[in-house]
A and B are shown apart, each in its own frame.
Chain A
């Protein structure tokens, strides 16, 4: 198995467009302001953290495919282009084969809701312009079109853990030579239906949207500051494997950790990490719940901390909506020499 390096990160979040905005919010550590959206037929509005408009109209919105595209598509493209940096412009001329993995739990929900509302009113009048945008892989398709990427492109659907599975899929493509580079994006959008559904399970969670992206390659140029060291198996909490045991098995696949390492966790009270002595970061407490995008932000924050030499290594721990537990580890290149168990 080849080694995999993180060559770039991107983020669109309620903190703003770009990794610096995400970093600034997480460093402040204060929960971002909460807005509300109306739920039809209910006087109590639902709490959300909306993604603010970008500071200027991004150039990519001029692409014909994005005119009617969903907010999730805009977030996906924004985060991916930031992660790709200058390499984004090299895909169309065919300089390299780019694999794309978009991970999501709820997909283009606002258009799905809108289309079905139209169906309920009168199926004969439901808009053919909206329906194609409801398909789970619409954002991935639009991203491919924007970049001119005709290599393999998957949309993975699942809970937050799907983002880490997406990293593993990308690593496999790099190893098998299916692609020479991959961008993996976790993306969601806000809608009252998701906020309402979330309220049924986690009354104090605040729904949000956005995207996070990692750009992966098999080579390590001098500038590559972060290496993907591990993605654990996913452990669904089934009848035979309880939630705590699933989390313990996930942690057992990662190194024990050290005080100079970071834990980027999806929840603050996970028993599997009770003995953790390093730094801790729980982006969800600042940003809100955005499922696959939340998982992506955790990874972006972990890579950013390593890149800025705040930590030598960072573990990411995710417990998803169906209690699937999965983890990942990022390190400074060279750090793996001290972790022979994880060497590919």
Chain B
């Protein structure tokens, strides 16, 4: 039952929640290892867009994935796999890696919480294009509609992994992935589930690209978060999926633990549909709420993975929020935005950046952003610019989206 929820008797309320599987695909490639190498080195994967025509756009770059037709073996038939479009493939690749790593087996009631901004929008576009340009041709239209809807991506994942639990898809713009992980974390923490598969996914598509271009939010060159001369974001695509479970369950089955999620906070910025409050009030509220739920102070945070889109307003507001939240700690608190490497993954951003935090905590390094030229003096915190090893125990990740959706997650190294 979703309500009243049947509390898992073996899981105490306020249970510790650990990550026992993680899957990731970005423009660096598919899989934990290649992404860890890319984020650790501060590589930049932004390049000219090839997926669709951008000749009439102001900006023409994005962090596009070289997506092959190869998919991991799952319960899907060849026909099913052929029908999967770009976003579904990204989701499946990340989910399969997390699933395999977790050692979970098919179960009838595994809850799944995902975040996305547009699901399989490329199919929605194709549907509309054909309806407008060939209005009397209906071939393929029903399939486009069916596979465009996010619930079909849920069904695909169910069929691929052999699971049939409650699926929840949160679409809170660029905070979707972080909200999804936070919601899943609450489910396990409060004893409503023993384990949850969660994450975010989004694929590049023309509508979204043209939308950000129309807002003049895109940079013509690879983005430079927190740079004094930053001029916009770079879009990216990808997915990340985490297997969350209660510490007791993970230890009971001898699972390898990749890290612990200890806090989550969410808030809403009512200032403007697309612009944050200049002082970052809601961002500050999300960070404070996450720290409160984790029982930590800014002094105990060793690294901040900022939302850092590289638009002038977003970075200024986030810098103000981090300054206010961290106080004196800001002067020595390492901060970076990994969007400098793989772009802004929208609904997948929060999930991918959660995976980056786990990588950094496990590997004991700080993810640099090599594209930074001249740090914005508004940032009272040091920005990680070069690859560096570091002793970090706790990391905080921010995700802020259109519509004022703000979410913050806090991770702790295991053990």
Contacts and interface: CB of A to CB of B under 8 A. Distances in A.
Interface in A135-191: 135-138, 140-142, 144-145, 148-159, 162, 164-165, 167-169, 171-172, 175-176
A193 interface: yes
Contacts of B192: 172
B158 A236 contact: yes
Contact of A4 (B3, B166, B212, B273): B3
A131 B142 CA distance: 26
Nearest to B142: A200
B336 interface: no
A123 B56 contact: yes
Given A42-B136, A119-B210, A156 B168 contact: yes
B128 A193 contact: yes
A138 B152 CA distance: 23
Q: Which 5 residue pairs across A and B have the least CB separation, nearest first?
A: A41-B135, A141-B403, A168-B2, A131-B211, A136-B171
A1 B403 contact: no
Interface residues of A, number: 83
B85 interface: no
Contacts, number: 235
A230 B172 contact: no
A268 interface: no
Interface residues of B, number: 81
B47 interface: no
B164 A236 contact: yes
Contacts of B167: 158, 234, 236, 324
Looking at chain B's contact residues, the main secondary structure is mixed
Contact of A175 (B190, B210, B266, B405): B190
Interface string A17-59: 0000000000000000000000111100000000000000000
A304 B167 CA distance: 29
Given A107-B171, A136-B171, A200-B142, 14 more contacts: A1-B3, A128-B215, A137-B171, A137-B173, A140-B403, A141-B270, A150-B267, A153-B403, A153-B405, A172-B190, A197-B141, A230-B3, A320-B151, A322-B149
B154 interface: yes
A277 B142 CA distance: 37
A124 B57 contact: yes
A123 B142 CA distance: 26
Contacts of B164: 235-236, 238, 240-241
Interface in B56-91: 56-58, 75
A4 B1 CA distance: 15
Interface stretch (A8-16, A109-117, A218-226, A305-313): A109-117
B3 A137 contact: no
Nearest to A328: B3
23 contacts: A1-B5, A116-B129, A123-B56, A132-B215, A137-B402, A137-B405, A138-B403, A141-B270, A144-B270, A150-B285, A154-B183, A171-B3, A172-B3, A172-B190, A176-B190, A197-B145, A232-B2, A234-B167, A236-B154, A236-B155, A239-B159, A241-B164, A321-B149
Looking at chain A's contact residues, the main secondary structure is mixed
B135 A157 contact: no
A258 to B, nearest CB: 20
B409 to A, nearest CB: 14
B231 interface: no
Interface string B135-179: 110100110011001111011001100101111111111000001
A140 B146 CA distance: 25
A65 interface: yes
Contact of B186 (A120, A127, A176): A176
Contacts of B212: 131
Interface string B1-32: 11111010000000000000000000000000
A199 to B, nearest CB: 10
Given A137-B172, A148-B270, A157 B2 contact: no
A115 to B, nearest CB: 7
A265 interface: no
Nearest to A113: B128
Interface of B: 1-5, 7, 53-54, 56-58, 75, 109, 116-119, 124-125, 127-129, 131-133, 135-136, 138, 141-142, 145-146, 149-152, 154-155, 158-159, 162, 164-173, 179, 183, 186-187, 190, 192, 206-207, 210-216, 266-270, 273-274, 281-282, 285, 401-405
A169 B133 CA distance: 41
Contacts of A100: 268
A231 interface: yes
A157 B141 contact: no
Given A156-B170, A234-B166, A201 B142 contact: yes
A1 B58 contact: no
Given A113-B128, A138-B273, A158-B150, A238 B214 contact: no
A169 B151 contact: no
Contacts of B57: 123-124
B270 A159 contact: no
Contacts of A124: 56-58
B269 A150 contact: yes
A134 B403 contact: no
Contacts of A343: 4
Nearest to B111: A233
A39 B405 CA distance: 35
A320 B127 CA distance: 21
Contacts of A141: 268, 270, 273, 402-405
A172 B145 contact: no
Nearest to B401: A137
A165 to B, nearest CB: 6
A87 interface: no
A134 B124 CA distance: 13
A342 B187 CA distance: 20
Contacts of B124: 112
Contacts of A117: 128, 132
